[in-house]
Every structure is written in structure tokens, then in C-alpha cells.
């Protein structure tokens, strides 16, 4: 769990972390504390999750229990859509730091590409980086077109692009673009919201190694070099999801999982109206304010 990948600005980021999406403050506090005690160094939250203060408390308790220091952890959070724009981004980070009760963030991501705003937003992210409030800056849910636009019009190449990535939705074109641009891909919803967890082909591989389907999926991310942040609110699963270092998938296993891809983003996108019928990301400011 201490193993890291080196981002394009030289900062080291742990390769497996704990996600806390859909987790309220109380539960986030417990998960984060438990996660740190069980060896997780990377914690991934967002203003939009509404649990930054719970995460902050969990960090404090986890550090106290383990005797580790703040610098041993890698904390990611994300800029809320409604805060996009140059000045509002500069202002928003202060609230986030206050809720997390931290003096800096390790990785700050633009949560979604709000069209017409994400370039100005990125310029503010660049300032936060230069000012030392964040150690690395990145994006989330950026398709290749928007990423290219960002690269063409700004100075710093994002360190990370966090995308939905799992056996059901492998975003092969985006993975290729990011690899080529030197942007680390990070998987949100790595377990694929249930459909991947019940996949019979992955189950067969899991049985072969006496591991769970979740462990096989996380190991698949690991071997592909994709940073992954499975979420669980259950202590047993938090432990299980980090127990992936006593087996190795064969090339054939990896090919089998690669072939499961349905290029199918989770329904969740559509439920929240973040895609129009043509599949383009829509400006979600109204929905989140
Ligand atoms: P829970 O929090 O109740 O454990 P993802 O990170 O892909 O979004 O998936 C998270 C979902 O998968 C959550 O609903 C989580 O539920 C569940 N989950 C997490 N770890 C495991 C596991 N090891 N086995 C089965 N389900 C899991």
C-alpha cells in the first residue's frame, strides 16, 4: 500500500487508496480512520460528497492511532462544479482546507469539465499549485477533446485524470490518450457498481486464486498501472480490498478481463443528467447548486 507511482511533476502518489463517495461525514470519518490504521495512505474525497469534514476528522484520528505524520498520507479532493471560474476556484480551496483541517492538499482535481469555465478554472489551479496549497493538480471526467483543449490553452499538464474505469467500462481511447500525454489515469468506481462484481468470468479467475472478485479487479488495475480507489464502508472489505499482493494475474487472465469491456458508463451518469442523449458531458452547475 505504500507503493507509489511518480506523477509528471515528480510527486509520488500511492497506487491504491480508499474512496469515500456516497459516504456521510460520520461514516467517512470511520472509514478513513480504519483505512489509515489498516495501511491505506491515499484517501479520495470531493467537496461534492459533503464529507470533507468527516474525512478530516478520520485523518486526525488515524494519524493519532498510527503515529504517522500528515506527510505520510496523500489526500485528494475535488473542486465542485459550482465553484468553477478563476476567482471562485481560488476562494473554494480555502473552504476545502478548512473542512479537511489541512494546510495543503496533495492532489486537487477539477471534478467535472464545466464547458466555458474549465480553462479559467485550470489557470486558478495552476496558481494554487505555484502557491504551494496543492502538491499536484489534475482533472476528473475529462474526455480526449476537452483534455486536448486544456493542453492547448494552459501551461501545466494535469498530473492525473480520474475517470470511471472498471471491467464493464474500460474507456480504452481515454486511457491511451492519457498514457500518451503523461497523465496518470485513476479509476473511480473501480468495482463497477455491482455488474462487474457479479461477472462469471472474473469469478472463475477469482476462484483459481482463492481471492474475491473485488480483489481480482483491484489487482487488474494494479497490474495495468492504473491508480485505484475502491470505496467501502465495511471494515472487512476495506481490509480485503488492500489484500492483493499475494497473487499475480497471468497475461491470459488480464486478456480475459480486458475483453469484458462493454464501453458502458454507469447509469449513474445518466441519472444525474451529466450526459446529454449524445453522450456529451453537460454543464451540471444548476444541478449541484
Ligand atoms: P460497501 O461500502 O457497502 O462495502 P466502487 O468503488 O466501484 O464505486 O464500488 C463500491 C461498491 O462496492 C460499494 O457499494 C461497496 O459497498 C462495494 N464493495 C466495496 N468493496 C467490496 C468488496 N470487497 N466486495 C463486495 N463489494 C464491495
Nearest to 37 by CA among 67, 13, 12: 67
Residue 152 counted as domain residue: yes
Task: Cell numbers for 41, please give them.
Answer: 495512505
Q: Domain containing 57: what range?
A: 4-278
Q: By alpha-carbon position, which residue is closest to atom 15 of ligand 1?
A: 232
Ligand 1 atom at shortest distance from the alpha carbon of 233: 2
Catalytic residue among 49, 86, 118, 209: 49
Q: What is the pTM of this model?
A: 0.93
Residue 232 counted as domain residue: yes
Residue 287 counted as domain residue: no
Residue 235 counted as domain residue: yes
Q: Is 49 a catalytic residue?
A: yes
Q: By alpha-carbon position, which residue is closest to atom 2 of ligand 1?
A: 232
**Residue 231 CA to ligand 1 centre (angstroms):** 6
> Does 275 carry a binding-site annotation?
no
Q: By alpha-carbon position, which residue is closest to atom 16 of ligand 1?
A: 232
Instruction: Give the Cα separation of 214 and 189 in Å (integer).
Output: 11
Residue 29 counted as domain residue: yes
Q: By alpha-carbon position, which residue is closest to atom 21 of ligand 1?
A: 237
Ligand 1 atom at shortest distance from the alpha carbon of 166: 7
SS3 51: coil
Residue 289 counted as domain residue: no
Which residue matches cell numbers 458508463? 265
Asked whether this complex has an ipTM greater than 0.90, the answer is: yes
Long-range (24+ apart) CB contacts under 8 A made by 233-237 are 233/23, 233/27, 233/30, 233/31, 235/34, 235/38
Residues in contact with ligand 1 by the CB-under-6-Å rule are: 19, 189-193, 197, 212, 214, 230-234, 237, 240-241
**Residue 197 CA to ligand 1 centre (angstroms):** 9
pLDDT in tens, the chain (289 residues): 889 999 999 999 999 999 999 899 999 999 999 999 999 999 999 998 999 999 999 999 999 999 999 999 999 999 988 899 999 999 999 999 999 999 999 999 999 888 889 999 999 999 999 999 999 999 999 989 899 999 999 999 999 999 999 999 999 999 999 999 999 999 999 998 778 999 999 999 999 999 999 999 999 999 999 999 999 989 999 999 999 999 999 999 999 999 999 987 764 444 344 554 455 555 444 444 3
Instruction: Give the Cα separation of 70 and 141 in Å (integer).
Output: 28
CATH assignment of the domain containing 155:
3.20.20.100
The domain tally of the chain equals 1
**Residue 216 CA to ligand 1 centre (angstroms):** 13
Task: Cell numbers for 8, please give them.
Answer: 509528471
Residue 286 counted as domain residue: no
Residue 150 counted as domain residue: yes
Amino acid at each position: 500500500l505504500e507503493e507509489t507511482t511518480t506523477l509528471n511533476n515528480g510527486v509520488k502518489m500511492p497506487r491504491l487508496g480508499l474512496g469515500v463517495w456516497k459516504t456521510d461525514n460520520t461514516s467517512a470519518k470511520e472509514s478513513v480512520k480504519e483505512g489509515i490504521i489498516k495501511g491505506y495512505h491515499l484517501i479520495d474525497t470531493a467537496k461534492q460528497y459533503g464529507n470533507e469534514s468527516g474525512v478530516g476528522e478520520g485523518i486526525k484520528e488515524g494519524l493519532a492511532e498510527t503515529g504517522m505524520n500528515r506527510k505520510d498520507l496523500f489526500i485528494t479532493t475535488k473542486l465542485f462544479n459550482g465553484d468553477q471560474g478563476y476567482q471562485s476556484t481560488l476562494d473554494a480551496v480555502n473552504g476545502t482546507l478548512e473542512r479537511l483541517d489541512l494546510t495543503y492538499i496533495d492532489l486537487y482535481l477539477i471534478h467535472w469539465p464545466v464547458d466555458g469555465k474549465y480553462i479559467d478554472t485550470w489557470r486558478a489551479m495552476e496558481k494554487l499549485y505555484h502557491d504551494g496549497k496543492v502538491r499536484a493538480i489534475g482533472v476528473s471526467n475529462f474526455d480526449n477533446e476537452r483534455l486536448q483543449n486544456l493542453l492547448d490553452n494552459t501551461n501545466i499538464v494535469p498530473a492525473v485524470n480520474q475517470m470511471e474505469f472498471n471491467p464493464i467500462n474500460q474507456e480504452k481511447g481515454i486511457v491511451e490518450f492519457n498514457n500518451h500525454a503523461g497523465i496518470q489515469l485513476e479509476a473511480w468506481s473501480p468495482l463497477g457498481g455491482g455488474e462487474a462484481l457479479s461477472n462469471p468470468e472474473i469469478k472463475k479467475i477469482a476462484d483459481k486464486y482463492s481471492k474475491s472478485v473485488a480483489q481480482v479487479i483491484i489487482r487488474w488495475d494494479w497490474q495495468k498501472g492504473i491508480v485505484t480507489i475502491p470505496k467501502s464502508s465495511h471494515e472487512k472489505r476495506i481490509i480485503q480490498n488492500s489484500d492483493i499482493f499475494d497473487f499475480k494475474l497471468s497475461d491470459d487472465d488480464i486478456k480475459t478481463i480486458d475483453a469484458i469491456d462493454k464501453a458502458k458508463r454507469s447509469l449513474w451518469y445518466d441519472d444525474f443528467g451529466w450526459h446529454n442523449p449524445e453522450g456529451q458531458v453537460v454543464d451540471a452547475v444548476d444541478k449541484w447548486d
